[in-house]
């Protein structure tokens, strides 16, 4: 359990007694156990000088063991106070519990108040930044899964394009994609699949529906899958029938913006420089007001994680970071276009995980 060891070393260096990790994605990251406990308590408790444990609902203990967790599993029943079960297990370790690290960006005020009551007098500090910095840099193991998730996303776009036909609805195309993804072994989609057509492409958060595809539509796919716990996230926009000149100009502007940012990726470049480079291309073409969101977001176990690629993030890129680059123009009278790739920062540049072509694909009716 390398990640547990890493956190233990961190606790030793920082003279902290223990850490309680409660974000389901972080529990998965450090323990290998994937679970969505809803409102129930799920956590990994790591100690400076004692054996860690995972606490989870009792009925999930068999799944926890099957996931490869070799340290103590602690199950709590719905009829028990899970926090008392946790405190008792922690105190049984017989080690000091005066300095406890928690995830302040996840632990609720209510849970914090329970912790303060159960570990009276303890000081609480943050473990968030340590976990973020661990997750920020992907290992080769993780990259293998991300590559596979991206490969499936490429294939999903291919399936979607083949489904396009006059009169088909957005939902019909969407379901054909999702069916094929499940057949290919994707655990699930990493978020609600988006298939938007015609004027609906101009809404960055539209909902697919019964609209029928027509000649002259642009069709925007935004989707991703979870493979072995890791997410992909791709967007492609294609034309059904010959596009107008104005549609072409918007498409090529977005494509140019996207490629400009991708080409800039390498260690040492700042996140905000990527956002600026893409935004400048779009602004210079006169569409700045129609690019209404940040350039991208980190990607891994969560579909939105660090690093955030915004115009104000001064963070320098490092080898092993994985994030999306996804500029868009949402023009209410012409069309919406977004193009999104998943990229890895390599030692001397970039590896693009999503490989579906970016030249404007024109599907004949």
Binding site for its own copies (CB under 8 A): 38-39, 58-60, 63, 78-79, 102, 104-110, 112-113, 124, 128, 171, 174-175, 178-179, 182-183, 187-188, 192, 204-205, 207, 210, 292-294, 304, 308, 310-312
Which helix (H) or strand (E) element contains residue 140?
Answer: helix 140-163
Q: Decide whether 126 or 266 has the Cβ nearer to its own copies.
A: 126
Between 308 and 346, CB nearer to its own copies: 308
Minimal CA–CA distance to 321: which of 143, 167, 157, 85?
Answer: 143
**SS3 state at 136:** helix
Strands 336-338 and 328-330: antiparallel
Q: What tokens does 353 get?
A: 């995980």
Find the shortest distance in angstroms from Cβ 362 to its own copies. Answer: 28
CB of 112 to its own copies, least distance (A): 5
- Residue 201 beta carbon to its own copies: minimum distance, rounded to whole angstroms: 15
Residue 13 or 110: which CB sits closer to its own copies?
110
Complex with its own copies: residue 63 or 158, whichever CB lies closer: 63
Helix (H, G, I), strand (E, B) or coil at 230: strand
CB of 24 to its own copies, least distance (A): 14
User: What are phi and psi for residue 178, nearest 5 degrees?
Assistant: -65, -40
Angle at 238 between CA 234 and CA 241, to 5 degrees: 165
Query: Which residue number, 33 or 93, has a Cβ lying nearer to its own copies?
Result: 33
Query: CB 303 → its own copies: shortest distance, Å?
Result: 9
Of 329, 297, 146, 309, residue with least CA distance to 232: 146
Cα 303 → chain centroid = 2
Q: For its own copies, give the closer residue by CB, 56 or 321.
A: 56
User: What does the block give as tokens for 63?
Assistant: 């799944």
Residue closer to its own copies (CB basis): 293 or 355: 293
Nearer Cβ to its own copies, position 139 or 292?
292
Q: What DSSP element (H or E) covers 298?
A: strand 296-298
H or E segment to which residue 239 belongs: strand 234-240
From the CB of 215, what's the least distance to its own copies, in Å? 24
Sign, Cα dihedral of 204, 210, 214, 220: positive
- Give 14: exposed, middle or buried? Use CB within 10 Å, 0-12, 13-18, 19+: middle
In angstroms, what is the minimal distance from the CB of 197 to its own copies?
15
Task: Give the C-alpha separation, 136 to 323, whole Å.
Answer: 10
Closest separation in Å from C-beta 294 to its own copies: 4
Rounded to whole angstroms, the Cα distance separating 93 from 97 reads 10
Q: What is the largest CA-CA distance in the chain?
A: 73
| Residue showing tokens 């406990």 | 37
Nearer to its own copies, 217 or 305 (CB): 305
Shortest separation between residue 275's beta carbon and its own copies, angstroms: 9
What angle (nearest 5°) sits at the alpha carbon of residue 342, between those of residues 337 and 348?
Answer: 125
């Amino acid at each position: 359990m390398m990640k547990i060891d890493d956190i233990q070393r961190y606790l030793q260096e920082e003279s902290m007694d223990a850490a309680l990790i409660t974000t389901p994605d972080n529990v998965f990251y450090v323990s290998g156990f994937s679970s969505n406990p809803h409102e129930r308590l799920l956590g990994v408790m790591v100690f400076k000088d004692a054996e860690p444990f995972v606490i989870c609902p009792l009925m999930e203990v068999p799944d926890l063991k099957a996931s490869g967790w070799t340290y103590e599993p602690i199950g709590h029943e719905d009829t028990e106070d899970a926090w008392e079960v946790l405190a008792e297990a922690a105190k049984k370790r017989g080690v000091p519990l005066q300095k406890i690290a928690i995830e302040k960006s996840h632990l609720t005020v209510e849970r914090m108040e329970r912790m303060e009551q159960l570990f009276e007098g303890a000081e609480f500090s943050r473990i968030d930044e340590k976990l973020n910095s661990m997750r920020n840099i992907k290992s080769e193991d993780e990259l293998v899964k991300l590559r596979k998730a991206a490969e499936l996303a490429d294939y999903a776009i291919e399936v979607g394009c083949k489904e396009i036909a006059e009169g088909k609805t957005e939902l019909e195309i969407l379901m054909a994609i999702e069916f094929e993804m499940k057949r290919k072994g994707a655990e699930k989609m990493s978020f609600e699949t988006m298939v938007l057509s015609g004027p609906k492409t101009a809404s960055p958060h539209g909902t697919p529906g019964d609209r029928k595809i027509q000649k002259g539509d642009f069709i925007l796919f935004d989707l991703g899958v979870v493979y072995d716990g890791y997410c992909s996230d791709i967007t492609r926009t294609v034309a059904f029938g010959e596009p107008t000149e104005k549609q072409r100009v918007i498409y090529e502007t977005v494509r140019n913006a996207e490629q400009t940012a991708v080409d800039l990726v390498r260690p040492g470049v700042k996140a905000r420089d990527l956002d600026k480079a893409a935004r400048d291309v779009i602004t210079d073409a006169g569409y700045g007001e129609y690019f209404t969101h940040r350039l991208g977001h980190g990607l891994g176990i969560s579909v939105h994680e660090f690093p955030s690629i915004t115009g104000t993030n001064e963070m320098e890129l490092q080898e092993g970071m994985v994030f999306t680059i996804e500029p868009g123009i949402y023009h209410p009278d012409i069309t919406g276009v977004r193009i999104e790739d998943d990229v890895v920062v390599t030692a001397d540049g970039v590896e693009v995980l999503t490989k579906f072509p970016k030249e404007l694909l024109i599907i004949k009716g």
